[in-house]
Structure 1
């Protein structure tokens, strides 16, 4: 990728991650029927985003300066994944966490690399069910379950 773009994107994402961390501190630490508060995910994701951004900025300085190949930006893939993320957020309550996350991951995996359907199916299903189980059963949190019309 372009080093300047990566560097500026890393700085912007660091600012966003820091804003998530600061903003999560004002969210309630507990939720009704849940031992894990609403502030946990924004806090963890903000920290993760900030750390990955620091890594990205570091990598832009570490790359060799002789790297001069021009890459075309792939707007089609970006558009597909962006639309999938918007639809994921829109349908999360209606379809539930497991189904919407599974569909989002399948679209993302197949957009990034065509083929290997079975591997994508297994990873998407394992991640969706695994995160749901860990968050709801182990951490006693609450996520949108399966839709009522399904059963």
Structure 2
């Protein structure tokens, strides 16, 4: 992607991470006095998002400095139409994922979303994409639902 897009994305993700942290701190503590309560996971995710967005901004900035030193001043790169198509495909896939999650269930919807995402980012390697998508979907469902006792939308009943 272009450096401008990466910088703007890192800033947007940083703001979302800060808002996520702020909202996670509003969640009430555990009623049993446990150190791990309902806000622990969302708070950790917000912190990870902030740290990763800072890393993305730093890496983009460092890459721009290296390019400027190596070539001198350069014209801003334009985002190609293929990159825009990939972004739009992933964005529409994410919206469809949210819409169909309750209807079709977590495992199937996540599998399809990951498969589309992997194939959008890198064509080919369909076997490894399928294996990773299945392993992630089933693994997270098993971990969250069976081991942790949480609830995710299960398989469809139609």
* TM-score normalised per structure 1: 0.82
Structure 1 segments, 4+ long, off by >4 Å, are: 36-41
Q: Deviations over 1:26-73 (max 9, x none)?
A: 23567xxxxx97645533332221111010121133221246483533
Of residues 73, 76, 81, the one that matches 2:90 is 81
**Structure-2 residue corresponding to 1:138:** 147
Count matched residues: 144
Cα distance in 2, alignment partners of residues 49 and 128 from structure 1: 21
Specify every segment of 5 or more residues in structure 2 that has no aligned partner in the other structure, as ranges: 31-35
Relative to structure 1, is the Cα distance of residues 81 and 102 closer, same or farther in structure 2, using a 3 angstrom cutoff?
same
- Local SS of the residue matching 1:148: coil
* TM-score normalised per structure 2: 0.79
Q: Deviations over 1:81-137 (max 9, x none)?
A: 111000000010011110000000011111111111111110000000011111112
Larger Rg: 2
Cα distance in 2, alignment partners of residues 40 and 82 from structure 1: 28
Specify every segment of 5 or more residues in structure 1 that has no aligned partner in the other structure, as ranges: 31-35
**Structure-2 residue corresponding to 1:46:** 46
